[in-house]
Amino acid sequence: MKTVFVSIATVVTISVMAAVHWSSDAIINALKQGDADKLSAYFDTFIDIKLPEKEEIKNVSKNQATIAIKSFFETAAIKGFEVTSQRELGGTKYMTGKLTSNGKTYNITLMMKSKGDEVTIITIRIG
């Protein structure tokens, strides 16, 4: 019985990790393409957002955050993204990287949480 329980727990853990990895890949691809619409598909209902030369805003609705990120991506002409670090701590995943545009680089940090079998972005900081 103990062996069956351990086997089931292992399968569930691997399934959840695969879902988290897949979502992270989709988020990375959206950032590489500079596609705010694809990125916003992973926003939680409310997120915290910090953009360059602006104050951080807490509990921004998904729609408002999408508009803000889309505007930033268009104004800054974001053309690419490179991951510099990823880690998971207590069910929260952190990703840092560099957004690239025409001659300028922006540091970005994403904080994500698992929500069921999906990963949602709860914080974006760009500086």
Angstrom CA distances, 13 to 7, 16, 21, 46, 67, stand at: 10, 5, 12, 27, 35
Distance between CA atoms of residues 94 and 27, nearest Å: 12
Nearest of 100, 108, 98, 86 to residue 23 by alpha carbon: 86
Nearest of 78, 72, 75, 67 to residue 30 by alpha carbon: 78
pTM of the entire predicted model: 0.79
Least-confidence region, from 39-43, 83-87, 108-112, 117-121 = 117-121
Is 90 exceeded by the pLDDT of residue 82? yes
Question: 99: exposed, middle or buried (C-beta count within 10 Å: 0-12, 13-18, 19+)?
Answer: buried
Domains of the chain: 2-126 (3.10.450.50)
